[in-house]
Amino acid sequence: MHAVPVTLRMRVISALEPLETLRRVSFLAVLPPEDLNALAGHCIPRRLLRDEILVSEGDPCEGLFVVQSGAIKLFKMAENGREQILVIERAGSTVGELSVFDGGTFPASAVAAEDSTLLFLPKREFLELCQRNSEVAFAVIRSLAWRFRYLTSLVEELSLKEVSHRLARFLRDRALQLGVRTRRGIEFPLEETNQEIGAEIGTVRDLVSRNLRRFVDRGILRLERRKVIVLDMGELEAQVSGTKRASAG
């Protein structure tokens, strides 16, 4: 994957109600409609195809991106090519506010995890808005504080938890978000490959495969192509908390 120059990436696309998109951003929702309208007038629509780079780590920050539809994956890449996913941002989320405020480059790369549309808000307009409106500025601070807490939790997971516990948490969270209770158990789709799951929980594909097999062998879940059926939610929760051990991973 290669980054495309910003001037070439800013493609004009049909309007997808930018006002509604901005209203979904937590720190912009405090603005009255007239201010949101004015802000929407400065936004540049952008479309990305799946696997297309939005920004690369170290790129200069020219403004803030608001996810309109689809999903944007933020990740760090090690010298050996191993990828660590930091977060996947969806509609109403933003990319780049930290770099807008500290004046630095993007601290991580961002790529479209699926076909996506975004709004680009230039740095100058966003900073001027924060200077004019203290309520927005404090809302941005709350958002950045939440991100700090999330990343602190991620560091704890990666450094102190075993692979089996991290995988169990990943599966538990998906079951809670997407699961449908049926006679067989709690079913949810699993579109990511084992390699993509590994990148998200900080491990490699082989360990994901090994721990999935052990969960299946223990009767915790069943796999059907790219679908997961949780047979015993209590046992899966026990793996999350680390009270039971599924592997030496």
Amino acid 161: pLDDT: 72
Q: What angle do CA 52, 200, 78 make, to 5 degrees?
A: 70
- Using CA atoms, how far apart are residues 202 and 226, in angstroms rounded to an integer? 21
Question: Strand 94-95 vs strand 186-189: parallel, antiparallel, or unpaired?
Answer: unpaired
Q: How far is CA 207 from the centre of its chain?
A: 22
**Fold of the 161-241 domain:** Arc Repressor Mutant, subunit A (1.10.10)
Q: Which residue has the higher pLDDT, 203 or 116?
A: 116
Amino acid 160: pLDDT: 58
Amino acid 196: pLDDT: 86
User: What percentage of the chain exceeds 70 in pLDDT?
Assistant: 88
Does the pLDDT of residue 10 top 60, yes or no? no
Cβ-based neighbour number of residue 161 at 10 Å? 17
Q: Where are the alpha helices (DSSP H) in the chain?
A: 6-9, 18-23, 33-40, 97-102, 123-132, 134-160, 163-178, 194-201, 205-217, 233-241
Instruction: Give the class (CATH, top level) of 6-157.
Output: mainly beta
Digit-coded pLDDT (tens) for 60-96: 999 999 999 999 999 988 777 778 888 889 999 999 9
Counting Cα atoms < 13 Å in the Cβ hemisphere of 144 gives 13
Amino acid 163: pLDDT: 87
Amino acid 159: pLDDT: 66
CB 188 within 8 A of CB 231: no
Question: Any idea which of 47-51, 74-78, 160-164 has the lowest mean pLDDT?
Answer: 160-164
Reported as a pLDDT band with limits 50, 70 and 90, residue 240 is: confident
Q: Which residue has the higher pLDDT, 138 or 14?
A: 138
Amino acid 18: pLDDT: 86
- Overall average pLDDT of the 214-221 stretch: 94
- Overall average pLDDT of the 137-159 stretch: 82
Torsion of CA 216, 221, 224, 227, to 10 degrees: -140
- Overall average pLDDT of the 225-246 stretch: 81
Amino acid 81: pLDDT: 76
Per-domain residue ranges for the chain? 6-157, 161-241
Question: Any idea which of 1-5, 106-110, 140-144, 198-202 has the lowest mean pLDDT?
Answer: 1-5
Amino acid 249: pLDDT: 45
